């Protein structure tokens, strides 16, 4: 996992694609939110957001 993050950071730094970083973070947060609330009573409310 650390190797992937190092490669990703190297790509963003060399190619000057820093605008992708917020996009990646938001997608990871949404994915984490869906995974963590999948089995709870909050799930129906989360799915209405999408």
Give the pLDDT confidence of 3-44 residue by residue, as tens digits. 998 999 999 999 998 999 999 999 999 888 888 877 777 777
Give the pLDDT of residue 33.
82
The structure's pTM equals: 0.65
**What is residue 28's predicted lDDT score, i.e. its pLDDT?**
93
pLDDT at 27: 94
> 19: which 2 tokens?
């605008």
Cβ pair 22, 28 in contact under 8 A = no
What is residue 19's predicted lDDT score, i.e. its pLDDT?
92
Q: d(Cα 38, Cα 29) in Å, to the nearest integer?
A: 14
pLDDT-based confidence at 1, cuts 50/70/90?
confident
Please state the domain extents for the chain: 18-50
């Amino acid at each position: 996992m650390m190797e992937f993050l190092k490669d990703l950071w190297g790509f963003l730094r060399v190619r000057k694609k820093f605008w992708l970083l917020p996009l990646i973070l938001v997608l990871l947060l949404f994915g984490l939110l869906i995974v963590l609330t999948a089995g709870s009573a909050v799930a129906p409310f989360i799915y209405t957001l999408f």
